Amino acid sequence: MNQILNDIRYYVKQKLENEGSGHDWHHIERVVQHSEVIAKAEGANHFVCIAAALVHDLADDKIASSEAEGIKEVVNLLGDVNEEDRNHIIEIISSISFKGGNRPPVTTLEAQVVQDADRLDAIGAIGIARTFVYAGSKGDLIYDPSIEPRNKMTPETYRNGQSTAINHFYEKLLNLKELMNTQKGIELAKQRHEFMEEFLSQFHDEWAGIK
C-alpha cells in the first residue's frame, strides 16, 4: 500500500507542482496532512483517505478539461488498487466538491474525512491567501461594493459568474464551519473561522477609511 501511495504521490506532484490557482501540490500535501489527523481521530480507513486526498483535485474542472476526463485519469492512476477501494476513492472525489453548495451530504466516513480536510485548507490564514490567488487567476477584483455576494448558485454560476475575492468569503468560506462532518474537523475549523472573521472586519474598516 505504501508503494501505491508513493506512486500516486509522485504522479500528482508532477502534474500540480506549478498549478497557479491555489490548487497546487502544496495544497494537496496539506489536505493529506489534515486527512491523516482526522482519519486517525475518527477511525477511518487510512489508505482510502490518503489516496483520495492525493487525487481529489484531478477530477475537478479547475484542473481537468472535464470531470469525466479527470475521473478517467484517476481510474488509470489507481490501476493497482483493489476494486472496492478504487470505487470508494472515485466516489469520494466525485462528491466532496462545494460547487455552489448544492451537493448532497457525503455518505461514507472516509468521504467526510477528506471533505473536511479539503475544507480546512479553504479557511483560516492559508484559505485567505488561496482566495486571492484563485480570484487573481480568474481575473476577479479584490472587492467591489456594487457586486453583491451570490446565493443559491448553480455549479455553473458558482464557477463562471462575476464575483470578487471578498464575496467568496460570504458565498462559501464563512459557511464551511457549519458544514464540517467530523468532530475533529469541527474542532480544527473553529479557530480558522474566527481568524477569517477578524480579517474581514479589518478589511472592511480599512476599505471604509476607519483604520
pLDDT, one tens digit per residue, over 104-115 is 889 999 999 999
pLDDT recorded at residue 102: 62
Mark out the alpha helices in the chain (DSSP H runs). Answer: 2-16, 25-42, 46-55, 67-77, 83-95, 109-120, 124-138, 155-160, 165-171, 176-179, 183-207
Measure CA of the first residue to CA of the last residue in the chain; give whole Å: 54
**Total domains present in the chain:** 1
Write down the pLDDT at residue 158.
66
For the segment 187-205, the average pLDDT, to the nearest whole number, is: 99
In angstroms, the CA 51 to CA 9 distance is 8
**Grid coordinates belonging to 27:** 495544497
CATH number of the domain bearing residue 100: 1.10.3210.50
Domain that holds residue 93: 2-207
pTM (predicted TM-score): 0.93
Q: How far, in Å, CA of 136 to CA of 182, rounded?
A: 32
Give the lowest-confidence range in 34-43, 92-101, 142-151. 92-101
CA 144 to chain centre: 25
Instruction: Report the C-alpha dihedral over residues 209, 197, 172, 104, rounded to 10 degrees.
Output: -160
Is residue 162 scored above 90 in pLDDT?
Answer: no
- Give the per-residue pLDDT at 28: 98
Question: Average pLDDT in the 154-170 region?
Answer: 82
